[in-house]
Chain A
Amino acid sequence: MSDKLKWLADSLNMNRRNFLKTTAVGAATTGLVTAKKDAEAFAYEPYPKDDELETVVTSCAHNCGSRHALIAHKKGDVIVRLSTDDGRFQKDGYFGKDTEEEPQLRGCLRGRSYRSRIYSQERLLYPMIRVGARGEGKFKRASWDEALDLVAGKMLDIKMKYGPTALLDQSYAGASWGVFHKSDQIAGLLGRFLGLFGCRTNSWSVPSYQGTVFSSTQTFGSIEDGNEDDAYAYSKLIIMWGWNPAYTFHGGNTFYYMRLAKQRGCKFVLIDPQYTDAASAYDAWWIPIRPNTDAAMLAGMAHYIFANNWQDQLFINKFVQGMDQGTMPEWGKGGESFKDYIMGFSDGIAKTPEWAAEICGVPAEDIKKLAKMYALTKPAALKASWAPGRNAYGEQYNRMAAALQAMTGNIGKLGGCAEGIGKGWHAEGSALPEDPYSNIYAQAIKSDRWAHCVLNFPNLKREEIGLWPRQDPTDGLPPLIKGIFWQGSNWFNQLTNINKEIKAINNLELVVCNDSTITPSGLYADVLLPVATHFERHDVALPWYKGHYYIHRPKVIEPMGESKTDWQIYTELAYRLGFGPVYNPRAKRDYFHYNDATDEEYLRYWWESKVMAHQHVEMSWDEFKHYGIYKFKMDKPHVAFEDQIKKGKPFKTPSGKIEILSTPLATTPDFAKTQFGYYIPPIPKWIEPWEWLGHQKAVKYPFHMITPHPRWRTHSIFNNIPWLRETYEQEITINASDAKKRGIKTGDTIEAWNDRGKIVLPAYVTERCMPGVVVVHEGSWLDLDENGVDRSGNPDFLTDDNPSPAGAFAYNTILVDFKKSDLDHRPGWDKLATSRSHVYRRDSDM
Chain B
Amino acid sequence: MTEAKKLDKEQVKQAVKRRKQVTYAPVQPEEQLGFVHNNVDCIGCRACEIACKDKNGLAAGPRFRRVQYIEGGTYPEVYAYKVNMSCNHCAEPACLPTCPTGAIWKRADNGVVDIDSTLCIGCRRCEAACPFGAPQFDPSDGLVKKCNMCIDELEAGRKPYCVMACMMRVLDIGPIDEIRSGEYDTKAIGPGEETTRRVKGLANPDLTNPSIAFIPHSKGKVD
Is A770 in contact with B76, judged by CB distance below 8 angstroms?
yes
A38 and chain B: residue at smallest CB distance: B57
- Which A residues are in CB contact (< 8 Å) with B177? none
Q: Could you tell me which residues of chain A, from 12 to 47, have a CB within 8 Å of some CB in chain B?
A: 12-14, 19, 30-34, 37, 39-45, 47
Q: Are B169 and A256 in contact (CB under 8 A)?
A: yes
Collect the chain A residues with CB atoms within 8 Å of residue B74's CB.
736, 767
| A246/B45 in contact, CB under 8 A | yes
Pairwise interchain contact B190-A277, C-beta atoms closer than 8 A: no
CB-defined contacts of B128 to chain A, threshold 8 Å = none
Cross-chain contact A106 with B166 (CB below 8 angstroms) = yes
Q: Which residue of B lies closest to A276 (CB)?
A: B80
Give complex CA distance A771, B74 in Å: 12
Which residues in A have their C-beta under 8 angstroms from that of B145? 41-42
Q: Are B51 and A83 in contact (CB under 8 A)?
A: yes
Q: Does A786 reach chain B (CB closer than 8 Å)?
A: no
- The listed residue (A13, A81, A255, A735) touching B55 by CB distance below 8 A is A81
- Contact partner of A724 among B50, B71, B164, CB < 8 A? B50
Q: For the complex, is B214 an interface residue (Cβ under 8 Å from A)?
A: no
B15-34 near A? 1/0 per residue, CB < 8 Å: 00000000000000000000
Contacts of B122 in A (CB 8 A): 31
Closest CB of chain A to B108's CB: distance in Å? 20
Q: In the complex the two chains form, what is the Cα distance from A369 to B19 in whole Å?
A: 66
Q: Please, which residues of chain B bring their CB within 8 A of the CB of A771?
A: 75
Of B75, B139, B158, the contact of A767 (CB 8 Å cutoff)? B75
Binary contact track A263-280/B, C-beta < 8 Å → 1, others 0 = 100000000000101111
Interface pick from A107-115, A131-139, A546-554, A602-610: A107-115
Stretch of B84-92, B94-102, B110-118, B201-209 contacting A (4+ beta carbons < 8 Å): B110-118
Q: What is the bound-complex CA distance between A275 and B166, given in angstroms?
A: 22
Report whether B40 and A281 are in contact in the complex, using a CB–CB cutoff of 8 Å.
Answer: yes
CA of A770 to CA of B63 in the docked complex: distance in angstroms? Answer: 32
Residues of B within 8 A of A255 (CB): 43, 167-168
Among A33, A86, A770, which residue has its beta carbon within 8 angstroms of that of B75?
A770
The answer to whether A49 and B152 touch across the interface, beta carbons within 8 angstroms, is yes
On whether the beta carbons of B76 and A288 are closer than 8 Å, the reply is: yes
CA distance A277 to B168 in the complex (A): 13
Q: Are B168 and A109 in contact (CB under 8 A)?
A: no
Please tell me the size bucket of the interface on A: 35 or more
Q: Mark B119-150, 1 if CB is under 8 A from A, else 0.
A: 00010000000000000001111110100100
Known A108-B167, A725-B60, A767-B75: A277·B43 in contact at CB below 8 Å: yes
Assuming the A-B contacts A44-B118, A725-B60, are A33 and B141 also in contact, with contact meaning beta carbons closer than 8 angstroms in the complex? yes
Report the minimum CB–CB distance from A176 to chain B (whole Å): 23
Closest chain-B Cβ to A769's Cβ sits at a distance in Å of 8
Complex Cα spacing A12 to B122, Å: 21
B164 touches A108 (CB 8 A): no
When the two chains form their complex, are residues A31 and B79 in contact, meaning their CB atoms are under 8 A apart?
Answer: no
A83–B161 touching, CB < 8 Å: yes
By beta carbon, the residue of chain B nearest A31 is B142
Q: Is B115 within 8 A of A42, CB to CB? A: yes
**Alpha-carbon gap, A330 to B71, bound state (A):** 56
Complex interface: chain A residues within 8 A of B195 (CB)? none
Q: Which residue of A lies closest to B66 (CB)?
A: A727
The CA of A277 and the CA of B39, in the complex, are separated in Å by 12
CB-based nearest B residue for A724: B50
Shortest distance from the beta carbon of A630 to any chain B beta carbon, whole Å: 21
Known: A14-B59, A280-B81, A737-B75. Contact between A45 and B50, CB under 8 A?
no
Are B45 and A81 in contact, CB atoms less than 8 angstroms apart? Answer: no
Contact assessment for A44 and B116 in the assembled complex, using a CB-CB cutoff below 8 Å: yes
| A726 in contact (CB, < 8 A) | yes
CB of A723 within 8 A of CB of B43, answer no
Q: Which residues of the other chain, A, contact B40 by a CB distance below 8 angstroms?
A: 280-281, 283
CA distance A4 to B199 in the complex (A): 47
Q: Is the CB of B78 within 8 A of A263?
A: no
Contact A281 B153 (CB under 8 A): no
The interface bits of chain A over 754-768 (1 if a CB of B lies within 8 angstroms of the residue's CB, else 0) are 000000000000111
Task: State which of B41, B50, B142 has its C-beta within 8 Å of the C-beta of A723.
Answer: B50
Would you give the shortest CB distance from A286 to chain B, in whole angstroms? 6
Indicate if A84 sits at the interface (CB-CB under 8 A).
yes
User: Does A837 reach chain B (CB closer than 8 Å)?
Assistant: no
Known: A50-B156, A283-B40. Is A115-B54 also a contact (CB below 8 A)? yes
Residue from the list A39, A711, A769 in contact with B57, Cβ < 8 A = A39
A364 to chain B: closest CB distance in Å? 16
7 contacts between A and B (CB under 8 A): A33-B142, A37-B4, A41-B145, A83-B161, A86-B158, A245-B43, A256-B167
| In the A-B complex, the 3 residue pairs with the closest CB atoms | A31-B142, A246-B43, A722-B60
For the A-B complex with A98-B169, A262-B190, A766-B71 known, give 4 more contacts whose Cβ atoms are closer than 8 Å: A109-B47, A255-B167, A263-B190, A277-B80
Q: A-side interface residues toward B, CB under 8 Å? A: 11-14, 19, 30-34, 37, 39-45, 47, 49-51, 81-84, 86, 95, 98, 106-109, 111-113, 115-116, 245-246, 253, 255-256, 259, 262-263, 275, 277-281, 283, 286, 288, 711-712, 722-727, 735-737, 766-771
Binding site for A on B (CB under 8 A): 4, 7-8, 11, 40-47, 49-51, 53-60, 63, 71-76, 78-82, 115-118, 122, 138-143, 145, 148, 152-153, 156-158, 161, 164-169, 187, 190-191
